[in-house]
Each structure stands twice: as C-alpha cells, then as structure tokens.
Amino acid sequence: MSKLIASAAIRGAHHVFNNAEELLKKVIDGKGEDYLFEFPDTAFYLPMIYAMTGKQVKTVGDMKEALEMTRGLLHEEPDEHIWKPYLGEALDSGMAILFAEEIWLALRYIEGLEPVTDPDTGYVYNGFITDTIQRNLGIQLVDGTMPGFAVIIGAAPDEDTAVNILRELQEKNILIFLSGESNGDSCTKQLLRKGIELGWDTRIVPLGPGTEHTLYAADWAIRASLIFGGMKPGDFKGNLRYTKERVFAFALGLGPMDDIKWATGAGAINMGFPAVCDTDVPVIHPTGVTTYEEVDKELDHAKIVQKVIEVRGLKIIVEKPPIPVAYGPAFEGERIRKDDTFIEFGGNRSAAFEWVRTRELDDIEDGKINIVGDNWQEEYEKGGVMPLGILVEVAGRKMQADFEPIIERRLHHNINEGQGIWHMGQRDINWIRISHAARKNGFALEDIGKIHHAMAHSRFKSIVDKVQVTLLTKEEDVIKMREEARSAWEIRDERMATLTDESVDTFYSCLLCQSFAPSHTCVITPERLGLCGAYNWLDGKAAFEIDPTGGNQPIQKGQTIDAVKGRWTGVDEYLKQSTGGAVETLNAYTIMDNPMTSCGCFECIVAIIPEANGVMIVQRGHTDMTPIGMKFSTLAGTVGGGLQTPGFMGVGVNFISSKKFLYADGGLKRVVWMTKALKERVKEHFEARAQEEGVPDLLDKIADETICEDSEKLLEYLTSVSHPALEMDPML
Ligand code: SF4
Ligand code: ZN
C-alpha cells in the first residue's frame, strides 16, 4: 500500500472522527447522554459497530463510548523517513472511519439532518436502508436475480457518461447506490438533470450527498451477514469474511479522490469490496484481505463497468429477447401514465386474457408468432385501446400441466421488464400498456410474442422445448377463447384445491437461503409455502425439473410419525442432512414444538401472546408496536438466522389461510391480533376458512393496531367480543 494513500486514509479518518466528536458534544449538550436513538426500522442498533464489536449502541452515551473506542483505531500519519507497508494503519483507519461515519450519521438523524434533502432540487435521499428493504431484497440476493451491488461515489465527467454507466449496470441487474460528489457535482444530480427515475423501483438508490453516506451501503452489507449468514455480533472476522465471500459489492470512484474517499475506500477493502477509479490512482494489489486487486483504475468510461465486473469476478447472465427496447428487471418498476400511453390492452378497457397451455411436441412450431385478426396492423397503428388475447402454447418432454400456472405467472414479469412496456394483473384481468417512447423505438405487436417466446425458453429451459404464441386481436375471437381459458383455469384451480399434504408422497425443500442462513431449510408442502411467499409446492416441483441439482430438492415423506403435528420420518432425515445436524426434527403444523426455522425473508411473523392464549401476526413493513411489546424489526432479529424458536415462526402470507396453519395448536381460531393491512390482504380466503371452522365472523373478533397495541387492552377487547381463543386449551 502506498504511503501516500495510507496517509490520505489516516487523515480522512481523523477528519470524520473530529466531525463526529464535535456533533456529539452538541447533541449531549442539547439532549443529554440518556437520549435514545434507533435508525429507522432496524433491530441492529448501529449495525457496523454492532457487527464488529458486539456493542449495542442505544443511547447518545453509548455513542460517546463507541467513539472513544474508535479513537483507539486512529493512527498518526506515517513518518516521512521510515518505510513500512502501512497496511495495518490504513485498514484500521478504514474501520475507524466506518465507525465514525456511523456515529456521525446517527447524530445527524437525531438532529433531523438525515435523510438529506437536496436544497436545489428538493430531492430527498434515501438515507439509512431499513431492515424491511434488506429482507425484501434477500430473495433476489439468493436467487441470483441480482448478481451484485455497486456504490458509485462522485460524479461522472458529464451527464451522458453518468447515464451510460448507470444503464450498463442496470442492464446487468446490478443494484446501484449513489453517494458523494466531485467538483461540486454528483451522479445523483446528473441523473436527476437527465430526468432518470431514481429509487428502489429502478434500483438506483441515492443514499446521500456526502462520501460519508456510503456508510449506509456498508451497513446494509454487514447486516446481510447478521441476518442471512447467522454470524454473531462481535465476530468481526466472521462478519468480514462473509461480506467478502457472499456480498458481491464494489465501488466506482468517479472524479478526483480525496482523503475521505480514500479512508472510506479503506473501510470497503476491509469488507472485501474493491474499487475502480476513473482517475490515475496507484493500483493496490491484493493485500491479504482479498485475492483480487483492491483498487484499480480504468480511465475509459466505456470500459469501467466491465473492468470492475472482472475485478470482483461477478457472473452475469442476462438473456434478452430480440426486441427494439432495453430489457431487464431494472425496468419492472417503471410506470406508464395515461398521457405516455400509445396503446393499451385489457384493464377493463377491452377484452383481454393471457393463458399458457400445454401441447404435444408435434402440434406447435417453435418461435412461431401468429397474429389473428384481419386488420390488426391498422388497429395497432391507430393506438388507443385494442382487444388482445395472448395464448402461449408450450411443449416439452418434461412439460407437465402442473407447470402451466408457473409459466403463466412469469408472463407478467416477461412483459414488465421491457422498457416502456407495462403489465398488471393476470389471466382475464390483465392490463398492458405500450408507451409512445417504446413505439417510437419500433416496438411492434408481435414483439409481445417474441418476448414470451424468448423468456419462456430462457426461464424454463429444461421443461420447455417449444413455444408458440398466438395473439388474437378481434374482440369476438378474444371472448371466445377467453371462455375456453376460463374452463381450463377452473380445472386447474380445482386440482390445486385438492392438493393436500396427504395426497402427495413428495415434498420439496428450498435451500436457496442456505447461502445466507446455512442451518435453514424451507420444507414446502402442498399446504405450506416457503416463508418468503415466493415458492409453493408446484414451484418447487418445477424448479427441481428445471435444475435437478438446484436449490429445490424432493423430500420423500416416508412414514408419518405424527399426523396432527405434521411430522414424517423422511422430512426429519432430510433436515438432519441438509442442515448439517443443526435441525433434527420438525413439526410442520405447530408453532410450539420444533417449529420450522426461519432464515430472515419471512413475509410475516407469528408470535405467541401467552396471556391471550393465542397468537398475533405481523407483516414485514409494519413499523408500529405490537401487543407483545416488540416491533417487527426487533421480532425479526429473534426469529431469523435458521433457529427453531418455539412460540415464534416466520411464515408466508398464504400459509395463514391454509388448513394446516397451526393445525395442532387449534388452527385459525388462535389468531387474536393481526395488522389491519394483513387482515385486508387475506380477507377472502380467511373468511372462507373461518366459515369452515364454524366462526364466520372470526376476522372481526381479531384485534388490530387500530384497536390496541398492548396486551392489556387486547384482553379487554377479546373478552368483549368473546374471541374463541379464550375458551381453548392453554397453549403453554
Ligand atoms: Fe428462502 Fe424459503 Fe423462500 Fe426458499 S422458500 S427462498 S429457502 S425463504
Ligand atoms: Zn430466506
């Protein structure tokens, strides 16, 4: 490590440290040392300090202690006359600056200075990244949808270069964080000036205007280690190893480097994240933290993304259909307003449907796109509203009718990922919009067929050999085939309804989250989907066909040990082996006795409320208090990490209205409190199930946050409505 850089990093760390110290004095004077602080929606205190040292910073006084500890990591600048490698000093400074930045930003939150609003544009930066977003992204992390994460610090030489770099990263599905400035400008401002949509939907997230705001990205990376990796707070080696090996992050330093950038960069190197700069910086070869160049340069902006991908060794597989607009998940969140719409289909404005059906191999022609309708060209050219029936026919030696709904569900994403094309709904309530911009680029009606053809092949390689698409544009044709589709859906739904845990002899595992939570296995049965809500039994079955060595494996049920609690010999054997002995047995239908483990991506948490003799359910994203005195974020901290915690369990939303939900504990009638949002979401199925249980008005008897947020009022309410849980056997 060059002495120059080491000196810069050390100076930078001192600088931020001094800022933090100064602000700390001010906050202590104003609010006192006992003042409590939490970053928004997190259970991890000041995550970097917590992960590295185990210290739970809860008050301003704790911040003072943490800052004193940080002082010990600060070094003097290296002596002019003595040569030594400086590595240790620079890396210490890197850790020191991350701690100091974290404390400084926390103090700024207390002072109401974070998240920052840009004074010129009124743009509000993201600020701290919440646990909720972290868990939402978890699934994309594990399924490889997102191959990596970029932090861009500074500004590109001009706006177009900024846009080009961003687009290149977006097309590779890389999540982008922006921070810092150079020469008085920043990538955030450059993109805003170009009218680029920023935010989580487009995966370009401006964290804040300072280099110090890069810390929010580091905080997010280190939490992945705690949440998904099950690493212990204080195990700094384990946590740093995890971020190096499992979190594919890197930085692009655009514009001149300064002391704070070097120091923050040294912090990133500690975490195993390399940086590539567009200025003539000294290259830093592997120093032992990593096996790749830690700082490298690429002066050509057209090559800088490729360079950093090589340095970090990212595997990027992007398949794009042959259409005249950009394509990729980065465009999924894009909305198309009425005024920007060239033509639309469905959405109650015209007859429409989309349907996937299985055919014999000889019956269809791969890649054929039929447009049926005499004057469809004229109609399409006119724009406005048009009927559209989309029939996607697939054939393959391994294709099964059971896979149709899975392929059909992807139709939504297939269309939505095109730039300037938008999709909502499914089956006969679908709605598609094509923007003027896409039309100008030459997007034609048959491109809808081309997208489905290419993406069905790419996403379902091993089950789909042929794909043929028919587009119907004449209203009477659409209506006629829609009837046919409706009867097919009815048959499909009936089959789904008869799929029970008893009716099959094979369950499926999901091991996707093991890359983060090594002792977690989701056991997916027909009546219990994965806790992230993204995988049900059919998905597991299809995924296994698609990739027999992948993350979804069949589990032979074996002998039933306990039909009420849901325990089988085959499941126990499988779990022992798949969790390396960490989990020995599982009861699928109870929360009280060896319940399913949780990785961290659960949609909801079910938790026992002993005094109410029932359970509450809270969904991810609910930030208010719950009757057991814990917020979702705190609860999530106790439930995750691949542990079996009797009384607590992470579940997918759809499991709530399953017959097997808490089956051994008395079922649905145990639910005494549930958030309002969740009540609304599950209403239809829940009420049908409540009817079956003989308590048709159960949902009304369940309290929510508008009724109470503490257990005392909860009990009053339950008594006043004679909630059935009060009469049931004691849970404990
Ligand atoms: Fe993770 Fe379970 Fe979802 Fe699979 S089903 S991605 S293991 S939470
Ligand atoms: Zn998970």
User: Tell me, what's the pLDDT at 6?
Assistant: 81
Q: How sure is the predictor about 221, in pLDDT bands with cuts at 50, 70 and 90?
A: very high
Most confident range (mean pLDDT) of 2-6, 279-283, 467-471 is 467-471
Q: Give the pLDDT of residue 600.
A: 80
CA distances from 382 to 373, 377, 379, 385, 430 (A): 15, 9, 5, 9, 21
**Per-residue pLDDT tens over the stretch 426-461:** 999 999 999 999 999 999 999 999 999 999 998 888
Closest residue by CA, ligand 1 atom 8 = 532
Q: What is the pLDDT of residue 140?
A: 66
DSSP 579-620: TTTS-----TT-SSSSPPPB-S--SEEEEEEGGGTEEEEEET
> Is residue 523 over pLDDT 80?
yes
Ligand 1 atom closest to residue 514's alpha carbon, by position in its atom list: 7
pLDDT classification of 282: cutoffs 50, 70, 90: confident
Confidence of residue 320 (pLDDT cuts 50, 70, 90): confident
Contact of 619 with 572, CB cutoff 8 Å: no
Least confident of 37-41, 75-79, 373-377, 527-531: 75-79
How far is residue 726's CA from residue 715's CA, in Å, rounded to a whole number?
9
Ligand 2 center from residue 596 Cα (angstroms): 12
> Does 1 score more than 60 pLDDT?
no
pLDDT in tens, 571-580: 999 999 999 9
For position 511, what pLDDT does the model report? 87
In this structure, the number of other CB atoms found within 10 A of the CB of residue 244 comes to: 19
Residues 6+ apart with CB under 8 A from 726: 612, 613, 718, 719
Where along the chain do its domains lie?
A: 3-312, 329-492, 506-727
Closest to 223 measured CA to CA, from 129, 104, 126: 129
Residue 599: CB within 6 Å of ligand 1? yes
Say whether pLDDT at 421 is over 50.
yes
Nearest ligand atom owner, CA of 530? 1
Q: What is the pLDDT, as a whole number, of residue 144?
A: 62
Given CA atoms 178, 181, 182, 183 in this order, what sign does their dihedral have? positive
The 10s digit of each residue's pLDDT in 247-273 is 889 999 999 999 999 999 989 988 999
What average pLDDT does this structure show over 525-530? Answer: 96
Q: Say how many Å lie between the CA of residue 43 and the centre of ligand 2.
A: 17
Model pLDDT, residue 82: 38
> Which residues partner with 607 through β-bridges?
616, 648
Classify domain 506-727 by CATH number. 3.40.1470.10
Question: Which single residue is written with the structure tokens 């002993």?
Answer: 610
Closest CA to 574 of 564, 590, 586, 566: 586
Residue 318, pLDDT above cutoff 90? no
Give the DSSP H or E segment for 249.
strand 249-254
**pTM exceeds 0.85, yes or no:** no
Least confident of 82-91, 240-249, 656-665: 82-91
Does residue 78 contact residue 84 with C-beta atoms inside 8 Å? yes
pLDDT at 78 over 70: no
Averaged pLDDT, 383-395: 97
Residues 6 or more apart whose CB falls under 8 angstroms from that of 471 comprise 369, 370, 371, 372, 376, 388, 389, 390, 391, 445, 446, 448, 449
Integer angstrom CA distances of residue 10 from 215, 239, 446, 560, 730: 17, 23, 60, 63, 61
* Residue 414 to residue 444: CA distance in whole angstroms: 16
User: Closest Cα partner for 249 from 270, 226, 227, 229?
Assistant: 270
The domain 329-492 having CATH identifier 3.40.50.720: the answer here is: no
Whether ligand 1 lies within 6 angstroms of the CB of 635 is answered as: no
Angle ∠(162,329,372) on CA atoms, nearest 5: 120
Band of pLDDT at residue 698, cut at 50, 70 and 90: very high
User: What single DSSP character describes residue 439?
Assistant: H
Query: In this model, does residue 682 exceed pLDDT 80?
Result: yes
pLDDT (tens digit, 9 = 90+) per residue, 584-624?
Answer: 999 999 999 999 999 888 899 999 999 999 999 999 889 89
pLDDT beyond 60 at 84:
no
Amino acid, single-letter form, for residue 537: W
CA of 172 from ligand 1 middle (Å) equals 24
**Average pLDDT for the chain:** 91
Q: How far is the CA of 509 from the centre of ligand 2 (A)?
A: 12
Burial of 424 (0-12, 13-18, 19+ CB in 10 A): middle
Q: Which of 141, 508, 538, 599 to mutate to test the pocket of ligand 1 (most atoms within 8 A of CB)?
A: 599
Distance 533 CA to ligand 2 centre (A): 10
Ligand 1 atom closest to 521 (CA): 7
Residue pair 325/443 in contact by the 8 Å Cβ criterion:
yes
Interval 189-207: pLDDT, tens? 999 999 998 998 888 999 9
Distance CA(176)–CA(159), nearest Å, equals: 17
Residue from 507, 513, 529, 604 whose mutation best tests the ligand 1 pocket (most atoms within 8 A of CB): 513
Reduced to 3 states, what is the DSSP secondary structure of residue 625?
Answer: coil
Angle between helix 3-31 and helix 87-110 axes, rounded to 10 deg: 30
Mean pLDDT for 138-159 is 81
Element spanning 468, H or E: strand 466-472
Distance CA 664, CA 561 (A): 14
Beta carbon of 532 within 6 Å of any ligand 1 atom: yes
- Report the Cα–Cα distance between both ends of the chain, in Å, rounded: 60
pLDDT reading at 165 higher than 60: yes
User: Is CATH 3.40.50.2030 the right assignment for the domain spanning 3-312?
Assistant: yes
**596 CB less than 6 Å from ligand 1?**
no
E-only strand ranges, 257-336:
275-277, 295-297
Going by the DSSP 8-state scheme, the letter that residue 396 receives in this structure is -
Dist. CA 503 → ligand 1 center (Å) = 23
Residue 587 structure tokens: 């009861």
Question: pLDDT value at position 80?
Answer: 44
Residue with CA at minimum distance from ligand 1 atom 4: 510
The three-state secondary structure class of 559 is coil
Whether residue 288 has pLDDT greater than 60: yes
